[in-house]
Amino acid sequence: MAALRALRPFAHREFRVLISALSISIFGSGMWAVAMVYEVIHLGGGPLELSLVATAASIGLVGFVLAGGIAADRFPQRLLIIAVEGANLAVIATITALAMLNVIQLWHLAVGAFVLGVGQAFFFPAYSAMLPRILPAEDLLAANGLEGTVRPILQQAAGPAIAGILVAVLSPAHAVAGVAVCHFLAFGIVNLLSRQGLGGHPTPTSGEAPAKSSLFKDLREGFSYTVRTPWLLWTLIWACLSVLFLMGPIEVLLPFVVQDQLGGDSRMFGFLLAIMGVGSAIAALATASFRLPRRYLTVMVVTWGLGSLPVAVIGFMDSFWMLGAAMLIFGVTEGVGVVIWGTLLQRRVPRHLLGRISSLDFFVSLALMPVSMALAGPIAEVVPIWLIFLIAGLVCPIMAFVALFAARMMTDEIENPLASGNVHSESADTQADSV
């Protein structure tokens, strides 16, 4: 019965098309994460150069994600998703050609990473806003669980693993070519989304704001709702700080931990990411197979916080299996939290605000990502890597418990139960004020 609950979204054609395109696209993103690293290294770059390219992607995402949220509430999500996949295909095809001709330069990778970051800024708010329109409320947890399953399997596991093999056996350029093929297929599939029922605005219901308003008013409304909704505000504060402390070390410094502490290559790095991805996928599928926990906020925040602890000891590890176990724990806890979080946004945020709140989620959560990416390389030049990971792994659990009590989450989740049949627990601003 639990397994059937997790598969219910597949009964809807639009979801089948959307999840197919998303799966192929994120598989390509997983390949890009490794192909980009070793293309930079192939060009003679080190942590500093890798920070530059990673920071370009972060700036593209953070700089445009608020615009992406407003666009998701104003324009047809179908067209936004098609446009993003088209842009992804164009930029990756160009980088592939430059790499194959052996004329690629570091700035080409930085520009490409920036464009891909902009694409993410528009894609994910549109995707989040589309789900409640193509699925009933009782299927949203399962849909988020399925995404939380395929994303780590393909983006963190299979994609990096395949790219690592291609880099080792052929070259980074061949791995980039594989990314281009993925975006070509995804672009074709998203064009199969129906034009009906996927407009830019839902039909207004009781308590929902009118669709027509200025861009500034749209943005202010989203910020206002977030500030006066404690569970949302404090979760985003925690996420922002965790990104600052975790993202740079994991994205920029982990390849050098593999190289210097374990004597590994691209294949070992790819398989470590794969271990993390598999753990996240299993946890996401398990979460989707059962009802939302009664203590959903507590489970989410505590799981995320404790899951960061293994990061603290990464800098001391000289065994592949120990490092793999740390990445597995981190992946499992991430998978549980992400599924619950995505469902909360779609269940408790008023539908007419969902695109903007989703984009604010990305913006606030990732606002310090460029800073983290930019600082990781230079700090590693003067501070031991083990100390960087130690601080990152200890700060995040502390902040998780601060958020839990500051927002009175344990009281809030009891006052606002999310039974499976509730279509929308918070229909308007009134409910936000009650928390």
Neighbours of 336 (CB within 10 A): 22
Could you say which of 3.40.50.1100, 1.25.60.10, 3.90.79.10, 1.20.1250.20 is the CATH number of the domain covering 13-201+215-434?
A: 1.20.1250.20
Contacts of 428 (CB under 8 A, 6+ apart): 207, 208, 350
Helices (H), ranges, 101-214? 106-134, 140-151, 159-169, 172-190
Backbone torsions φ then ψ of 21, nearest 5 degrees? -65, -45
- Please tell me the distance from the alpha carbon of residue 267 to that of residue 104, in angstroms, as a whole number: 23
Question: Using alpha carbons only, what angle is made at residue 419 by residues 361 and 336, rounded to the nearest 5 degrees?
Answer: 45
Longest dimension (CA), the chain: 61
Cα-Cα-Cα-Cα dihedral sign, residues 327, 309, 362, 298:
positive
Q: Are 435 and 230 in contact (CB under 8 A)?
A: yes
Residue-level pLDDT at 317: 84
- Please tell me the distance from the alpha carbon of residue 301 to that of residue 311, in angstroms, as a whole number: 17
Backbone torsions φ then ψ of 318, nearest 5 degrees? -125, 15
- What tokens appear for 334 in the block? 């991430």
Residue-level pLDDT at 6: 65
- DSSP labels, 210-268: PS---HHHHHHHHHHHHHT-HHHHHHHHHHHHHHHHHHHIIIIIHHHHHHHHS---HHH
Low-confidence ranges of the chain (pLDDT < 70): 1-6, 156, 195-215, 218, 266, 351-352, 354, 364-367, 370, 419-435
- Please tell me the distance from the alpha carbon of residue 363 to that of residue 95, in angstroms, as a whole number: 27
Burial class, 181, CB count within 10 angstroms (exposed 0-12 / middle 13-18 / buried 19+):
middle
Write down the domain spans for the chain: 13-201+215-434
Residue-level pLDDT at 423: 40
Q: What is the dihedral of CA 11, 13, 17, 19, to 10 degrees?
A: -30
Residue-level pLDDT at 350: 76
**E runs forming strands in 230-361:** none
Contacts of 405 (CB under 8 A, 6+ apart): none
- Please tell me the distance from the alpha carbon of residue 379 to that of residue 385, in angstroms, as a whole number: 9
pTM of the model: 0.65
Secondary structure of residue 401 in the 3-state scheme: helix
Q: Are 397 and 333 in contact (CB under 8 A)?
A: no
- What tokens appear for 341 in the block? 């979080």
Backbone torsions φ then ψ of 279, nearest 5 degrees? -60, -45
Residue-level pLDDT at 64: 83
- Please tell me the distance from the alpha carbon of residue 431 to that of residue 433, in angstroms, as a whole number: 5
Backbone torsions φ then ψ of 369, nearest 5 degrees? -60, -45
Q: Euclidean distance between the first and final Cα of the chain, in Å?
A: 34
